[in-house]
Structure 1
Amino acid sequence: MTQPASVIDLYDSLLAAEDERARARIIAGAFERLEDRYPELKDLATASGVRESELRLQKEIEQVRADLSKEIEKVRTELIREIEKLRADTSKEIAFGNQKILRWTTGLLFAQLAAIIAVIFGVGLM
Structure 2
Amino acid sequence: MSVALRLYEQLTEAGEDKTRAKLIAEAFEHLEDRYPQLKDVATAGQVRETELRLQKEIKEVEGKLQKEIKEVEARLQKEIKEVEARLQKEIKEVELKLQKEIKEVEVRLTQAIHRQTLWVVGSVGAVVGMIRLLEWFLAHMPNP
TM-score grouping bracket, smaller chain normalisation: 0.7 to 0.9
1:20-39 correspondence to structure 2 within 5 Å:
20-39=17-36
How many residue pairs get matched?
121
1:7-46 correspondence to structure 2 within 5 Å:
7-46=4-43
Please point out which of 67, 83, 97 is paired with 1:70: 67
Instruction: Name stretches of at least 5 consecutive residues in structure 1 with no aligned partner.
Output: none
Instruction: Name stretches of at least 5 consecutive residues in structure 2 with no aligned partner.
Output: 124-144
Q: Distance in 1 between matches of 2:5 and 2:81?
A: 83
Q: Which aligned segments of 4 or more residues in structure 1 are displaced greater than 3 angstroms? A: 115-120, 123-126
1:1-126 correspondence to structure 2 within 5 Å:
6-118=3-115, 122=118, 126=123
Root-mean-square deviation (CA, aligned residues, Å) is 2.1
| Secondary structure of residue in 2 paired with 1:18 | coil
Q: TM-score, normalised by structure 1?
A: 0.81
Is the helix fraction higher in 1 or 2? 2
Q: TM-score, normalised by structure 2?
A: 0.72
Q: Distance in 2 between matches of 1:21 and 1:76?
A: 73
